[in-house]
Chain A
Amino acid sequence: MSNTTSAALHDLTVRALARQLQQRQVSAVEVAQHFLDRAQAHQALGAYVAIDAQATLAQAQAADARLAAGTAGPLEGVPLAHKDIFATRQFPTTAGSRMLAGYQSPFDATVVSRLADAGVVTLGKLSCDEFAMGSANENVAVPAVGSDAPTPVRNPWDTQRVPGGSSGGSAVAVAARLAPAATGTDTGGSIRQPASFCGITGIKPTYGRASRYGMVAFASSLDQAGPMARTAEDCALLLSHICGPDADRDSTSLDLPAEDFTRSLDTPLAGLRIGVPKEFFSDGVAPDVRATVDNALKEYQKLGATLVDISLPRTELSIPVYYIIAPAEASSNLSRFDGVKFGHRAKDYADLVDMYKKTRAEGFGDEVKRRIMIGTYVLSHGYYDAYYLQAQKIRRMIADDFQQAFQQCDVIAGPVAPTVAWKLGEHGSDPVADYLADIFTLPASLAGLPGMSVPAGFGAGGMPVGLQLIGNYFQEAKLLNAAHQLQQATDWHQRAPQGY
């Protein structure tokens, strides 16, 4: 195979790759090898934390065999990498934590097995913030492939900048063409914000659409899996395979049949009412982001959509509400990491309590400890009503605000984040600076609504800016339609960072 063809492979979309594989213009092994080579060549980005070429190529060979036998799945041979929060049998599952360094799951997450059933080949595992807690992918406690020490993930648009988080490795792998697509998880914006920072497309479906079985839990009532790719069409294709009921393994999985989310991609947008919440365009939004988002909204008007002024009055409250509920759930979810059954255990200890203390002190990073402490505090006797219960009440009001808004519009649009990607280390030791940057992604998470990030152009320093689209429950197809139509009219999503 010549270099020119080879070079083109990583620019192909999932859709195009799937077609070429089905038509046997290229083999799954060639495609997999190509991306493995690229992952190695660009390992300085720190995107991958686990690669096993042998395992990947074996999967690719099996895919080729099925393609030859005519028993191929719809995505047969398409390579994809998983955020290291998904349990995988063939690769270690660390959740970015020292606590789980080298941990091998005996089962695959439902999302992983569903994609495998569709024919997807796994390239490896992608870096993320420890237990998905972070907005910059700087909270990483496991080394990236090719590195001896834990490394933050770098943004390919400017390697001095963060890629966003917590699905930072996923966003970087897709943006730098180290994988045609990746899985991510979104608890408070962890798909949408890194997608925005890296100039790719990502969608978090309605809570309950995707099974959480096999996702290392952060905040159970918020965690949701979704695809990250370069186009809305690819996201629609992948999401169709990711979603579906899993009642035997996840009680929060909705009893809704799998859907073909590509079905209405081509619907014209004439008459679409786009709600523009005034709270998403406050002074807190950087001027470059605001101008870029405004410009994208103008494109929508050109496509026949109308803009409607709406209000989501409790947008600011979503920060304290989220940072009570998510840590509360996390403090309990992370109790299982106690050194008894699996994962890290301290070497020397005096007794049981000492073992617990040392194991958890050594195994968890600062941000994780911070959230465990916050969560433990807000659930404590005498504080529960004032914090957790109060937060749940406001959460309900935030969800009600969205229902009010959807009386007036079909989708809601605004920025994903107030700024473009910041510099590595810029937020220093101020976690609150990170928390505040989540303001526009938290409301949809708290309401359980589907949300996505679509490339909307470039802001300061040529850094990508994402447009956030939020839909009502189960309106993923409508979001993907709106995103796809924008991508038919613009080419922001096709731009690649220089050198990749």
Chain B
Amino acid sequence: MSEPVNTFEAQQQGRPTGPLVQGYEVVIGFETHAQLSTQSKIFSRAPTAFGAEPNTQACAVDLALPGTLPVMNKGAVARAIEFGLAVGSHIAPRSIFARKNYFYPDLPKGYQISQFEIPVVQGGSVEFYLGDAKKSVRLVRAHLEEDAGKSLHEDFIGQSGIDLNRAGTPLLEIVTEPDIRSSAEAVAYAKELHKIVTWIGICDGNMQEGSFRCDANVSVRKPGDKLGTRREIKNLNSFKFMQQAIDYEIRWQIEQIEDGHAIQQATVLFDPDTGETRAMRTKEDAADYRYFPDPDLPPLVIAGEWVERVRSEMAELPRVMAARFVADYKLPEYDATTLTQSKAMAAYFEAAAQASGNAKLASNWVMGELSRRINSGEADFASAPVAAATLGLLIQRIADSTISNNAAKQVFDALWAGTGTDVDALIDSLGLRQMNDTGALEKIIDDVLAVNADNVAQYRAGKDKAFNALVGQVMKASKGKANPGQVNELLKQKLG
């Protein structure tokens, strides 16, 4: 069987050069194995639950007993379709299962059923922000396959144990073009992909249990050169290690090249203890997998109606929701993308935006104060001590100039800490109500101008800093209750 055509080189033409590391451009492609959240295995009826006693969740098919045959789990196909729709892929109306032949004790049949020449999900892209920069990583494909079992080398002296509970667990292998240009971008991509698969609910995303495993193909080149030789870092099972491993790998490859050594294609593992990658096998010992279409499985035919049914039953996708936030709430694209990091965050934002009637302020608060606390692990969006409706009311008080933004933070702290639950009562008890009485404010300003003649003179001489100092003095004299906008306006009037 011929290899799928490698069009990477052609597709790299015209893509912008990424940030350089010691004069080298980094090129990264990802292969991610997402375990699909089906109840039973991809080709058998055995359960997929994690953590059971070894070999208690493997049936005759999983054990490859003579005479057993694979039967496709429709739920796994439905999840592949959902993924394809979520990332704008083509859902192949006809795809083929192939056998990847190799011997290993935890591979019961002596071959893995996978998709090779014609995968079920073709093309598509994953879009995300890296800082303020919008990135798009193109997908080559996503294909269905079965997982292998596990070899347990530690517990048996001089022997290996085999646990086939995982054998036959459905996986979706998601393959990108080599579009990623830095370790930070790689992590951002992986996080975005993780968000998508968990958002649509096709994968539980549990990285410790191996439900979401990333392999990174890393190479470096001088800008304008053709792609360098890649090394594949296998099984990156945390975002932290992912960045460390890729950074190490980039430095190592550049060092090798600078020292005059060519990079050998290899598969490497990252050791979190040493922070280094080390080669498991090189291309020389790469196996010939003898792929051929599995004669036990007819072509997977997906009718257009099935795709449409899945589409109609799917939850609103993050990028569709983000577009709606831009259109309906007039949010900047960055805000919309950030707010759709998770379903819970997006739901919180929408509730707060509607309660407050001020979407941009709601967005600022959700992305700022609220996210800071949630990211530090104090709570999650669903269980936040400040409910979205409460935050909405607080935002209303900012918008109607009852309190300043800074004062609102104090109210929020109090709400979060449980000091009170009534926004208005807290504003009063904390004495944060803004001074919106022009007469009183004018008097304060006049007093400040009288005792700060130096600053007035400096301002008139063209020093803007002096103006800020005057604003500060007025705010201080008002005990923070003055409305900063109003202070600015009145000061400018009085200074001419």
**Which chain A residues numbered 225 to 270 have a C-beta less than 8 Å away from chain B?**
247-252
- CA A376 to CA B110, docked complex, whole Å: 13
A341 within 8 A of B: yes
Contact with B along A196-224 (1 / 0, CB 8 A): 00000000000000001111110111000
Q: Determine which of A100, A213, A217, A388 lies in contact with B292 in the assembled complex, contact meaning CB atoms within 8 Å.
A: A388
- Determine the interface band of chain B, counting residues with CB < 8 A from chain A: 20 to 34
> CB distance A341 to B296 under 8 Å?
no
- CA A249 to CA B44, docked complex, whole Å: 9
Residues of B within 8 A of A500 (CB): none
Instruction: Contacts A217-B67, A356-B103 given; indicate if A338 touches B60 (C-beta within 8 A).
Output: no
> CB distance B71 to A336 under 8 Å?
no
> CB distance B67 to A384 under 8 Å?
no
- CA A212 to CA B110, docked complex, whole Å: 20
> CB distance B71 to A247 under 8 Å?
yes
**Which chain A residues numbered 83 to 118 have a C-beta less than 8 Å away from chain B?**
86-87, 93, 95, 100, 103, 105-107, 109
* Of listed A334, A338, A356, A376, residue having the most chain B CB within 10 A: A338
Instruction: Contacts A335-B111, A388-B292 given; indicate if A341 touches B71 (C-beta within 8 A).
Output: no
B382 within 8 A of A: no
Residues of A within 8 A of B72 (CB): 251
Contact with B along A379-406 (1 / 0, CB 8 A): 1110011001100000000000000000
Nearest opposing residue in chain B for A250, CB measure: B69
Contact with A along B56-76 (1 / 0, CB 8 A): 000010011111111110000
> CB distance A341 to B69 under 8 Å?
no
> CB distance B67 to A87 under 8 Å?
yes
A329 within 8 A of B: yes
Q: Determine which of B2, B105, B111, B297 lies in contact with A332 in the assembled complex, contact meaning CB atoms within 8 Å.
A: B111
B260 within 8 A of A: no
Q: Determine which of B63, B67, B109, B290 lies in contact with A379 in the assembled complex, contact meaning CB atoms within 8 Å.
A: B290
Instruction: Contacts A332-B101, A338-B103, A379-B101 given; indicate if A214 touches B71 (C-beta within 8 A).
Output: no
> CB distance B65 to A105 under 8 Å?
yes
Instruction: Contacts A332-B99, A335-B109, A335-B111 given; indicate if A249 touches B295 (C-beta within 8 A).
Output: no
B178 within 8 A of A: no
Instruction: Contacts A107-B60, A251-B298, A252-B296 given; indicate if A376 touches B290 (C-beta within 8 A).
Output: yes
> CB distance A251 to B296 under 8 Å?
yes
> CB distance A250 to B290 under 8 Å?
no
> CB distance B297 to A251 under 8 Å?
yes
- CA A86 to CA B340, docked complex, whole Å: 56
Instruction: Contacts A335-B109, A379-B290, A384-B1 given; indicate if A105 touches B296 (C-beta within 8 A).
Output: no
B29 within 8 A of A: no
> CB distance B67 to A213 under 8 Å?
yes
A181 to chain B, nearest CB (A): 21
- CA A461 to CA B188, docked complex, whole Å: 81
Residues of B within 8 A of A385 (CB): 1-2
Interface class of chain B by DSSP: loop
Residues of A within 8 A of B1 (CB): 384-385, 388-389
B162 within 8 A of A: yes
A350 within 8 A of B: no
> CB distance B67 to A216 under 8 Å?
yes
> CB distance A340 to B105 under 8 Å?
yes
Q: Determine which of B63, B67, B70 lies in contact with A214 in the assembled complex, contact meaning CB atoms within 8 Å.
A: B67
B437 within 8 A of A: no
- CA A93 to CA B65, docked complex, whole Å: 11
Residues of A within 8 A of B69 (CB): 212-213, 217, 249-252
**Which chain A residues numbered 8 to 45 have a C-beta less than 8 Å away from chain B?**
none
A352 within 8 A of B: yes
- CA A385 to CA B117, docked complex, whole Å: 13
A206 to chain B, nearest CB (A): 15
- CA A384 to CA B105, docked complex, whole Å: 26
> CB distance B66 to A341 under 8 Å?
no
B458 to chain A, nearest CB (A): 80
A342 within 8 A of B: yes
B205 within 8 A of A: no
A416 within 8 A of B: no
Contact with A along B86-109 (1 / 0, CB 8 A): 000000000000010101010011
Residues of A within 8 A of B105 (CB): 338, 340, 352
> CB distance A221 to B110 under 8 Å?
no
Residues of A within 8 A of B101 (CB): 331-332, 335, 379
B288 within 8 A of A: yes
Instruction: Contacts A332-B290, A379-B292 given; indicate if A93 touches B66 (C-beta within 8 A).
Output: yes
> CB distance A251 to B70 under 8 Å?
yes
B299 to chain A, nearest CB (A): 11
Contact with A along B290-306 (1 / 0, CB 8 A): 11101111100000000
* Of listed B64, B67, B101, B290, residue having the most chain A CB within 10 A: B67
Q: List 5 A-B pairs, Cβ < 8 Å.
A: A212-B69, A213-B67, A336-B109, A342-B65, A381-B290
